[in-house]
Amino acid sequence: MAYSVKSDKKLLLRALQGEILPQPPIWLMRQAGRYLPEYMKTRAQANGFLDLCYAPDLAVEVTLQPIRRYGFDASILFSDILVVPHALGQKVWFEEGVGPKLEPLKSADDIDRLALEHFHDHLAPVYETVGRLREELPAETALIGFAGAPWTVASYMLEGGSSKDFAAAKTWAYAKPELFARVIDLLVEATASYLIRQAEAGAEVLQIFDSWAGVWPEEDLRRWCLEPCKKIIAKVNAAHPDIPIILFPRGVGLAYRNFAVESGAKGLGLDTTVPLKWARDELQSKVTVQGNLDPIMLVAGGDVLDRGVAQILENLSNGPFVFNLGHGIVPQTPPKHVERLMRLVRG
């Protein structure tokens, strides 16, 4: 509450309250990371990627790097969605050049071994990072905390890492729905309390990443993605009614409308495939929309980038809107193209 007078001026908060701004706020998913040489330098000082997430000095530094370079309107806490299963007691590690790895859950016993007991102790360094960022960020920059949505996090917990078809995780859901529901329910509880702690540490906005939501038939999408996210949002907003939440259910197509109407999120992150006029007509009267430049247009640059940005601005900037990509920045993005993007959006 002490922050509210100052925060009301931040563009991201104004846009999420439904205000239509002459210039939309801009931030980019994965704005910190491997496309920045300064990130690679800091990362080399850590003992692997997870260590970077749990070392407040380094995590604060890499969060601030893209703010210093580009002056985005918001900063997103540097961490990863997989710190949640790690804090629940699952083995998680990152293999150089491969990505995240987990010891996959195989049985009811494996689920029983997960526990909330040491959850917040394990995540204490993340809360410290949030608090320090809140002190160090420029007055006009909003601080976003985040977590993965239950389904997206569960997919890694059951697959043991990234997946192309999510066959193992979806087979659990179809063949053993009660067991799968226990994993989802545990994640609803853990994620809500994780986000509440981030809010209490100083996060001003929270984003929930359901990056792999786009793989389910209608009924299962509702059960495993929309309903769990809705529960998390209700729990967080019961504790902190004023904190706006952005939900990013990537790839859900026409079901974006259900997420806009039913989830309780103030902001909806659109993936690159969502048609702009449809988003304007069907979503923007219900929520603030965020997105959705193709991250590969940012790699290509030039006219392709100019045209992509212009089309998004033309269609979405007459309603409540936050400029972003349709998914995270990729490592091969030239930093110069991000500068050009900033000029295009800010005019």
Residues known to be catalytic: 30, 34, 43, 80, 156
Give me the least distance between CB of 257 and ligand 1CP, in Å please: 22
Give the residue with the Cβ less far from ligand 1CP, 160 or 319. 160
Rule CB under 6 A: choose which of 6, 8, 95, 99 binds ligand 1CP: 99
Q: Please, which of residues 300-339 interact with ligand 1CP by CB under 6 A?
A: 328
Contacts for 342 with CB less than 8 Å, ≥ 6 apart: 26, 70, 71
Rule CB under 6 A: choose which of 35, 127, 172, 209 binds ligand 1CP: 209
Give me the least distance between CB of 114 and ligand 1CP, in Å please: 19
Cα–Cα distance, 211 to 32 (Å, whole number) = 18
Give me the least distance between CB of 31 and ligand 1CP, in Å please: 4
Cα–Cα distance, 118 to 101 (Å, whole number) = 21
Q: Is 80 in the site for ligand 1CP (CB under 6 A)?
A: yes
Segment contacting ligand 1CP (CB under 6 A): 73-81, 119-127, 175-183, 237-245? 73-81
Q: Is 253 in the site for ligand 1CP (CB under 6 A)?
A: no
Cα–Cα distance, 204 to 5 (Å, whole number) = 12
Give me the least distance between CB of 44 and ligand 1CP, in Å please: 10
Rule CB under 6 A: choose which of 58, 60, 81, 183 binds ligand 1CP: 81
What are the residues binding ligand 1CP (CB under 6 A)?
29-34, 43, 49, 76, 78-82, 99-100, 146, 148, 162, 209, 211, 328
